Amino acid sequence: MSYSAYGRTQNRVENPRQVEYRLLGQVTGALMGAKTETDKRKYFDALLWNQRVWDTFFHDLMDPGNRLPAELKRLLTTLYWSVRDETDRLIAGRGDIDVLITVNRNIMDGLR
C-alpha cells in the first residue's frame, strides 16, 4: 500500500480533531527531541515543522468557511502569532523551546 493510500484511509476513520491531535503529538515529540539535539539541522527542522503546522491552522482559521466561534478564532489567532514570535526567537538563539511544547500540549488537551 502506498503512503498516500494509507493517508486517505486514516482521514476516513479520524475526525478533524483526531487528525489535529495526532499531528500536534508528532510535532511536539519532534520539538521535545530537538531540546537535546546536537545536529542544528534537525533542531531547525523541528522548529520549522511546528511553524508549518501552525501556519496551516492559521490559514484554516482565516478561511471564510471556518465555523468556529469568532472569539475562539480570535484567541487562536493570537496564539498563532505568539508561536510565530517564539519560533523567530528560537531561530535567533534567544527563545525557549519549552514554550512551544507547552502551547502544543495545551491545545492537545483541548482537542481531547
Give pLDDT, residue 4.
56
Task: Band the pLDDT of 12: cuts 50, 70, 90.
Answer: low
Supply the Cα-derived Rg of the chain in whole angstroms: 15
Are the CB atoms for 49 and 29 separated by under 8 Å?
no
pTM, to two decimals: 0.84
Q: DSSP letter for 51, please.
A: H
Weakest mean pLDDT among 27-31, 37-41, 84-88, 97-101: 37-41
